[in-house]
Amino acid sequence: MVIGTGLLSAIPAVVAALPVQGSAISAPFLRARVLASASVPYEGYAESTVNLGLPVLPDLQDVSTLLDGTTDQYVWYRSPAYWRADAVTGTSESDAYQDGQVTFLWNYGSHLFSQVTGNQPVRLPRAADLLPPALAHRLLGTAAAADHVSRLPSRRVAGVDAAGLRLVPADQRTTIGAIDIWADPRTGLPVEVQIFTRGATQPVLTTSFLELSLQRPGLATVTPHPAPGVGVSTARLPDVDGALNGDGDGDGDHTPFPAQLGGLSHAALPGSPPGVAVYGAGLSRVVLLPLPRGVGSSAFNAAIQAGADVLSLAGQTGVLIRTPLLTVLMVQAGFRHTTFLFTGAVTPAVLENAATSLVTDLSHRFRKPR
């Protein structure tokens, strides 16, 4: 019995050590197959490790924790419209459900379901965004046509002989040096993703399946079933258009977003919510988010206390948070000194130029006539 148990426990190591079957698929075809794999169903267990060194900011603790440390997730994926991902730690669990056009977020600590309706092309990151398929689709879908792709040697990931793909951005304004993706060459399903910053030899982000099955989970598995008495709240993003024009409730006539900020053109994303604005293209995109008044002031002060760089931007004060991958800049300007947060996988100079342009634009809008 002891001998038999020992042999069984050694099977995974033996399987992992077997030669990996290479794939002759070309880099462009592999990229296309990955992008077309959103309908591939699967179940699995994934682990993601990110090391950015972001400070903890008020009301953004979950984001800071997600981007610094290891996240373990169980996922059941039927289709882009129906899936479930459970992020588990030693003391808590948070679940995300995509149920048609509605997203449900369940936090065991607060014992509350949050309901988010509609399309969300830009929002704060969640644990499910770190799953290998989700991250690979977002990165390849955002990448520019000029970015260079090449093949990497195949490797075995969660029992899959995965073909490797490397993407190197052509735009020097991004902090991303390379994106490595391994995917099932037959279905295109990504099973591992690594992100390297410029000049780095070790990835700053790694996400990989440890267990994987290409079976379709049942609909009941991915459908939320809140217990009786559990509250359900509706999430609402702040209205950046209203904040830009001094209208806190987002109603009334609005001046359009500036056409450009720091040389970056405003990107009108289909279905984009009113809570954010995006500038630029490819992996050099910049997200602009106005923070609620109380949260903005607290986050601004917390960043200064955490050692962020204090800048002067067209007569206004800004704070800059640098990490190997993401850069964050906050500036208070415009109507009631709203706190605007800029972020992206870009160099600090990109955000400084964008923020300076916004401050200048707002000073013209709110300048009192003499």
Contact present, 240 and 287 (Cβ < 8 Å): no
Q: What is the pLDDT of residue 86?
A: 94
Q: What is the pLDDT of residue 59?
A: 56
Q: What is the pLDDT of residue 343?
A: 92
Give how far Cα 126 sits from Cα of 60, 90, 323, Å.
11, 18, 19
Q: What is the pLDDT of residue 64?
A: 62
Q: What is the pLDDT of residue 285?
A: 94
Q: What is the pLDDT of residues 103-133, one digit of tens each?
A: 888 777 666 777 776 555 556 678 899 999 9
Does 75 score more than 70 pLDDT?
Answer: yes
Q: What is the pLDDT of residue 7?
A: 46
**Closest C-alpha to 184, from 33, 332, 337:** 33
Q: What is the pLDDT of residue 157?
A: 97
Q: What is the pLDDT of residue 28?
A: 97
Mean pLDDT, the chain, integer: 83
Contact present, 244 and 134 (Cβ < 8 Å): no
Label residues 307-326 b or e (16+ Cβ within 10 Å = b): ebeebebbebebbbbbbbbb
Percent of the chain with pLDDT over 70: 76
Does 304 score more than 70 pLDDT?
Answer: yes
- What is the DSSP pairing of strand 112-117 with strand 102-107? antiparallel
Q: What is the pLDDT of residues 81-92, one digit of tens each?
A: 999 999 987 667
Q: What is the pLDDT of residue 230?
A: 61
Q: What is the pTM (predicted TM-score) of this model?
A: 0.84
**Closest C-alpha to 196, from 178, 218, 215:** 178
- What is the DSSP pairing of strand 112-117 with strand 231-234? parallel
Structure tokens, 251: 């109603």
Cα distance between the two ends of the chain: 92
Q: What is the pLDDT of residues 275-294, one digit of tens each?
A: 678 999 999 999 998 887 77
CATH number assigned to the domain covering 237-365: 3.40.1000
Domain spans in the chain, listed from the N-terminal domain onward: 36-231, 237-365
Would you place residue 364 in the very low, low, confident or very high pLDDT band (cuts 50, 70, 90)? confident
* Average pLDDT for 240-268: 65
Does 226 score more than 80 pLDDT?
Answer: no
Task: With H, G, I as helix, E, B as strand and everything else as coil, classify residue 33.
Answer: helix
CATH number assigned to the domain covering 36-231: 2.50.20.10
Does 251 score more than 60 pLDDT?
Answer: no
* Average pLDDT for 325-342: 85
Q: What is the pLDDT of residue 255?
A: 47
Does 252 score more than 60 pLDDT?
Answer: no
